[in-house]
Structure formats: C-alpha cells, structure tokens
Structure 1
Amino acid sequence: MSASLTPRAKFATTLLRTAAALSRATGRGDGSVIGGRVGLIVEPRLLELLAEGRHVVLISGTNGKTTTTRFTTAALEAIGRVATNSFGANMPTGHTTALAKAPKAEYAALECDEHYLGQLLDAARPKVVALLNLSRDQLDRAMEVTALAAKWRQTLQASAGQTTIVANADDPLIVWAASVCQRVVWVAAGQSWTADSAICPNCGAHLDRFGEFWRCTNCGLNRPSPQWSVAHQGEAVVGPDGRRYDLRLQLPGRVNRANAATALAVASLFGVDPAQAAPRLSEVASVAGRYAKVERDGRQLRLLLAKNPAGWLESFDMIDPVPPVVLSLNAREVDGFDTSWIYDVDFTSLAGRKVVVTGDRRTDLAVRLEVDGVDFIVVDDIRAAIAAVPPGPVEVVANYTAFQDIRAEFNRVN
C-alpha cells in the first residue's frame, strides 16, 4: 500500500474522487480520466506517490490488455486486495484514479497503453511487466509497430532494475524488445496475425517460420523456449513444472486461454498458487462489456470488440459457425480515421452465413466484403441490424466507438 501521503497529495486525492464522482453523477463516464487529470494537476507526482509501497504489475500490448488485466486481477485477489483500472482507462490519468480508489490495496494490476509504458515504469516501479503482442493499430496516428518495439526495447534496457518481464514467446517483436531484460518468463501465447512480424526486428532479414517456431537465419534471433503454454488438447494451461491447470473460462477462443496463461504466469510471480488462481478466472464473464450477452427482441446477442486486423481475426475465431453476424465499423478519433486496414482482414470465413453491416463506415466495410465474395445487407444502426436477423443467437463484432455505441443502445454499464 502507498506510504503516508503528503497534505498536498491527500488534497489532490480528495479532488480526484470528487471530480470522478461528479462525472459519474452527470452521466459523463466513470470519471477515471477527469479524476486523474484533476489529481495530477494539483500534485504532478500523485501517481508515483499512490503506487509507492504496492506490488504492481503493468500489462501492455496491442490486443488483450483489458482481458488479461481482468484475469490477473482475479488471480491476485486470491491473496489480497487489488487496485485496477477495470474500465480500460489505460493512461496515467486512469492509473492514478485506479490507485486512489483503492488506497488499502496491497496489489495493483494496471492495463497500460503501449505508448505510456516507459512513463509508467518510472512512476509505478512495477514488480512485473507483462508484454502481450504488438501489431498495427490506428494507422493515421499511432507509431509504426517496429518503431514502437524499438522504443520498448530502449525503455526496458534503461529500467532493468528489479522488474521481471512476462512476455509472449510467439511474437518476434515482443521477444526482441524483452530480450534486453535480465529476468524474462516466456509464455507461448500464440500469434494469429503475423503480417507485422514477417521480417526480423533486429536486422531486417526475413523470418523463417516452422509451425510455432520462428527464427532469423541472419542474426540468430529466434523463439525462446516458453515456460508457460496453452495445452494443445483440452482447455488447460501448462506451467514450468509440466503441471496442467484446467480452465473453465466463460470467455471464448484460444486467445483468451492464452490471456489466462499470461495471467497465471504473472500471479505466480507474486506467490499465487496457479491451482488456486485458475478457478478464479472462470468467474470472469464479461470485461468492460466485451463478450457480454444481451437479450433484445428475442435475439441473444454476444458483443465482441475488434479494433485492428489481429483483433478481427481473433473475433472470427471466437464466433459460433451458424448464427448471423453483425459487423459494425466506425472511424472516429479514438478509432483512427484510416480504415484501409480492413483490406488486411480475411473475411472469407463469413461466406455462406447471414451478415449484416452497420456503423459510420458501413459502406467501406460493404465494399470490402464484396471483394471477398461475402453476401451482406447494409443497415443504418444496431436496431435495424437486430430487426434484420431472425430470433436466436447473434454474433456482433465492432471496433471501439462502434462497440461503445452498441453498448449505449443497450444501456449497459459493465
């Protein structure tokens, strides 16, 4: 838990909580961002002061941060209270609010935006950092992915200290970034999207792939042997000692089993017995609305968030093969205005089923589906999409602001 705060920090924390409460009361959001902003204006070191004395893990990557953070929180709760930014406010303002809301929590599991990892390493001084994956995202405003990996590598090298890295052995960009660290625990978390790691990040030569294994024949960078992995048969995670830990996850897909493996690896570094932690992961049914099931007009909709090519491919792996699919695409500021990335997504797996397209950029998405030979209908909004499909299960895949629009329509708060 944080050390005794200075009077200035206590005042900043009080203002933070007040601002956050006002935001919630006026329906402007959960208050994490505005609360943290107010607190940091009053005391710029507030995040550092609130983190002092706690056992912190930072979780970062392009996809899966929120889910892995939720799994990690569930696992760590086996041994104590955990402060966490459970609504995904993953920049310093959100981290500050998360810590301020849980002053007695000994542990903190914080989702961290990829571009703020260095700042959080300095401020929170984490015991563990989990690195999930890196792929293209928000093309018009985000850093090119190899450049981001280089930034991570430089940041990690400069702050080796007492931090242990839990890293995805299947992502060459993650391996290259983490390989400068003294203590790394490797997880076979998989990599369904390989287009952003076709060349070696270290020397620029072509990477050879043989099933799960990859290597650079020029400089020798290669897939390290993982200590943690997802079992090839059944729903289980295999630990460093070869023991299997059965999973009964409510969240679908292999990617979530990989997220669970990372969470168990992280929790074990804090002294949590994986056999004790694994059952707790099965209690996670929805993560900030993702994977939520909504009943509307005789339709049972499952909501899936997909923000970039890797995320859309993972979502297609999760959906059931029979029900109709609603696809919703926006291109607002937080999504990135450039939608050209949809041409990197293979939509052919949707052929032969009922597909409904909506969202601000539904026309862009319709053209893309036509190129892949997928039949579809275009509608104005989610209400029209519901009306266009028969009663029964429906899979809904949407990018960030489209997902939030759909959640607002259903008036969901979690």
Structure 2
Amino acid sequence: MKLLDRPRLGLAVALAKTVTAIVKKLRLGAASVLPGEIARRFHPKLLSLLCEQVQSGIILIVGTNGKTTTSLLLRTILEANGAKVTHNATGANLVNGLITALLADTNIFGKLNADYAILEVDENIVPLLVKECQPQIILGLNLFRDQLDRYGEVDTINQKWQEAITPLSETTTVILNADDPSLSYLGQNLPQTVLFFGLNQPNLYLEEIPHAVDSIYCPVCGASLTYQGVYLSHLGDYHCSSCGFAKSNLDINSKEWGQILVGVYNKYNTLAAVLTAQTLNISPQLIKREIQNFRAAFGRAEELNVKGKQVRILLSKNPVGMNETIRTVNEIKAQGKSETTLLVLNDRTPDGTDVSWIWDVDTEKLVEKGGTIVISGDRVYDLALRIQYSQQTLNNPNLNLIIKENLKQAIDIALKSTPPDQTLHILPTYSAMLEVRQILTGRKIQ
C-alpha cells in the first residue's frame, strides 16, 4: 500500500466505523451497506486497497441461488482448518456491502488481518469487481432467471462473466456447476484452470422437466439439448445431438458426499463448498465432519422452535427456488411429517418488483398434496389468485386455503394448524423472510 494512501484509508475506516456505531446505536438498521457507501465516496479505491491485504486469497461466490448457504459452509470448513476468514455474512452483495463487510474486520488504521475473504457477489457486478481485485477462486453456482426487472435473461449474464473472467490471471481457479449448460460452456472456453462439480445420481432425476426452465438449448449451436435426466430446473445430464456439446466431466463424485440440509439444491451447495475446500488442500475428514455439524444460514432451510412447534424457513425468491422448496416440502409431506405451509410474497427492492414469476411456479404440485396453505405478504392477493387457479385446475377437496394480509396473524394461524409432531414450512421471498424471522424470534437480523 502506498504511504500516501494510509492516512486517507485511516480516515475512511474511521468514518465507516463511526457510521456503523451510530446506525446500530439508534437501531436504524443492520449497517450492512451505508458505511461502505460513505467510505467509498471518501476513498474511491478503497475496495482494491482492502482486497490487497487478504493474505491467502479472495474467493468470489456467484450465482442466482445458494450463495449464502455455500459461503457459510465454506467459511465453517476454513475456520475449522485454522484460517481467519472475512465474509459478507449479511448477504449485502453489491460493492458497498462488500466494502462494509471488509471494513468491519479492519483495525482503526485500516489493517485487515484475514487469510481468506469469502465474498458473496451479485451476479451483475462480477465485471466491476474483478477490476478491483484478483480472486484466487471464482465459484459459479448456477444461473436462473431472477429479478428480470433488473438483469434480463441468463445468457446476458453468462456473456458478461466470460468477458470479465477471460482476461484474469491464470492463477485464478474457476469452479463451476457442470449440470448448468451455460456454466459448463463457459468453463470449456476459459483459459484458467476450471474444475466442475455436479450430480452423478440418476436416482435424483425429476419425473419431467419443470415449467420454469431457463436454458434447455445448446449454448454452441442453439439446438434443443437432449436430457438423460433433470435434477433441478435445467440442471441435469445432457448433450447436444446436433454439434456434440455435452456436460463437462466432474471433478467430484456426488455419491461420496452427504448433506445435512434438506433439498437437492442444498446438495449442489454442499458439493460446491466441498470442491472449493479440496482445491484449498483441506482434508476430506475435516470437510465431512463440518458438513455433519453444519447449521443453516438464516432463512435457508433454517430450523426454529417456536411455541413448542418446529418451523423450517425456506427462502423462495424466484421460480426455480420456489419449485425446489415445494419439491422438498412435498417429500416431507409424503412422510407424514408436514401438512401446513405458509407462503409469503413481497415485491420490495430486495425481492424484485415484478412478481409475475409466480406464474412460472408449479403451485399445482403444492395444491395437489392438499393440507393447509396459508398465504400472506404485500402481494398476498396475487399469490392467492395463483393458488386458486391451481385449485380450480385440480379441485382438491383436501386443500384448506387461508388468506391473511396481516403477516403476524398468518404466522399465528399457521402455527396453530401445525400438530406438535410436524414441521411448519414457511416459503418467503427475501424481505418477507426478514419479517418472518423478526416475528418468530422477536429480533431483527443484525
């Protein structure tokens, strides 16, 4: 770091820490973005100066779904191996949020003492971020449609990633999900070392390709891909009969790794964290131990005990995410361990203001299983229309649909409808998840 930068860096850090203290003291929020925004205005090169201080490497975790769970599992493994890790654990994944997280672990002079920085990164800022830092590892989880009012289709994001990553040093290792055709194609065309994770378990295939799929066409020639089977949305085993493009060879055997969290999507998160940890030369024994002891991040298959009832929160913020949480809930319903589900739909900035995506959700599969479905949220009546449309199609006499505008009342009703030996599943969008947790626990996420 240049000597001239040190006083300015110290002032930027002091300013950020003061803002953080004031915001938290006055209970104005989590202070996960504002301190970084103010400090960055004072010192525009702050992010690159902080990244330069990370001793062993920066790990960028990108993708539409699974960033928080994967990041937390990887952090748990690294810390168990003795590493000091800085991480934007609040989920603030734009530039100002990343700066805030890094500043939180500096001393008053701006000295960052960290072996690794695990940064969950919004998929749209990857090109900007790699100009500010040289990552040791880029971990790409998946690309699904998410908040189309902000980003557009997945092909646009994929192209941006390729243009941003290609010029990076060959010291960067890229780890990608081979089951996602667009990411598999990306990896096959990068000059860096690329490793692939994915599933090789046909027993986990879906019976059919879901309605909400994003990329079933060959990224090389545009022909329809031939799928041997689909695990989740467009993720699966595939090849192109027209040009020969096919799923990349895996660098990990999914059959050898268990998981502690429910759902196929969490199997992917586990494999992503495992392959990254292996790349960092962490022993398989330690990795397996930490997987078995792992606990979910807030809202991501998180389990709570509320008034003697078991509650599981499954964040559902886009068509693929909600379809997978419905799949998980239905599997548990089939075991007789759940009959009540609460869905909460908001349309605030963190959720995306366009809620038309709910019509790409296979709510028929939830209605088909029956039981009690309680719905709430800012867009409760949009969700009610979607559920009632499914009910008109199926006419399931065993469905009990309850509509409640007031979220606290909706939660109370759902809890009362849940027998003591069963689990209440709550499927909220992002801002709704924060509200649900505050009501259930009596405190905000800090």
TM-score, scaled to structure 2? 0.84
Opposite residue 409 of structure 1, the aligned amino acid is I
Instruction: Tell me, in whole angstroms, the C-alpha distance in 1 between the residues paired with 2:321 and 2:122.
Output: 16
Q: How does 1:14-413 map to 2 (within 5 A)?
A: 14-54=14-54, 55-77=57-79, 78-102=81-105, 103-181=112-190, 182-188=192-198, 195-211=213-229, 212-231=236-255, 236-237=256-257, 246-247=258-259, 249=260, 251-319=261-329, 320-321=332-333, 322-350=338-366, 351=368, 352-373=370-391, 375=399, 376-388=401-413, 389-392=417-420, 393-410=423-440, 411-413=442-444
| Offset from partner CA, 1:384-413 (integer Å, 9 cap, x none) | 223322443311001112112212223344
Offset of residue 201 of structure 1: 2.5
Mark the runs of 5 or more structure 1 residues left unpaired by the alignment.
238-245
Deviates more, 1:3-12 or 1:178-187: 3-12
8 Å CA contact 1:297–1:391 kept in 2: the answer is no
Opposite residue 364 of structure 2, the aligned amino acid is T
Instruction: Tell me, in whole angstroms, the C-alpha distance in 2 between the residues paired with 1:229 and 1:25.
Output: 48
Deviates more, 1:208-217 or 1:288-297: 288-297
Q: Secondary structure at the match of 2:132?
A: helix
| Offset from partner CA, 1:178-212 (integer Å, 9 cap, x none) | 32223111001589767101112333221111124
In structure 2, relative to structure 1, the CA distance for the partners of 1:209 and 1:403 (3 Å cut) is same
Deviates more, 1:42-51 or 1:345-354: 345-354
In structure 2, relative to structure 1, the CA distance for the partners of 1:14 and 1:125 (3 Å cut) is same
In structure 2, relative to structure 1, the CA distance for the partners of 1:217 and 1:158 (3 Å cut) is farther
- Give the equivalent residue in structure 1 for 2:108: none
Offset of residue 28 of structure 1: 2.5
In structure 2, relative to structure 1, the CA distance for the partners of 1:368 and 1:274 (3 Å cut) is same
Instruction: Tell me, in whole angstroms, the C-alpha distance in 2 between the residues paired with 1:325 and 1:382.
Output: 14
8 Å CA contact 2:134–2:168 kept in 1: the answer is no
Q: Secondary structure at the match of 2:226?
A: strand
Instruction: Tell me, in whole angstroms, the C-alpha distance in 2 between the residues paired with 1:407 and 1:38.
Output: 29
Instruction: Tell me, in whole angstroms, the C-alpha distance in 2 between the residues paired with 1:413 and 1:230.
Output: 36
| Offset from partner CA, 1:15-42 (integer Å, 9 cap, x none) | 1122122222222222120111121111
- Give the equivalent residue in structure 2 for 1:242: none
Offset of residue 215 of structure 1: 1.6
Mark the runs of 5 or more structure 2 residues left unpaired by the alignment.
106-111, 230-235
In structure 2, relative to structure 1, the CA distance for the partners of 1:230 and 1:29 (3 Å cut) is farther
Instruction: Tell me, in whole angstroms, the C-alpha distance in 1 between the residues paired with 2:11 and 2:295.
Output: 37
Opposite residue 346 of structure 2, the aligned amino acid is N
In structure 2, relative to structure 1, the CA distance for the partners of 1:285 and 1:413 (3 Å cut) is farther
Offset of residue 282 of structure 1: 3.3
Size of the aligned set, in residue pairs, is 399
Q: Secondary structure at the match of 1:261?
A: helix
Deviates more, 1:38-47 or 1:18-27: 18-27
Instruction: Tell me, in whole angstroms, the C-alpha distance in 1 between the residues paired with 2:343 and 2:253.
Output: 32
In structure 2, relative to structure 1, the CA distance for the partners of 1:37 and 1:62 (3 Å cut) is same
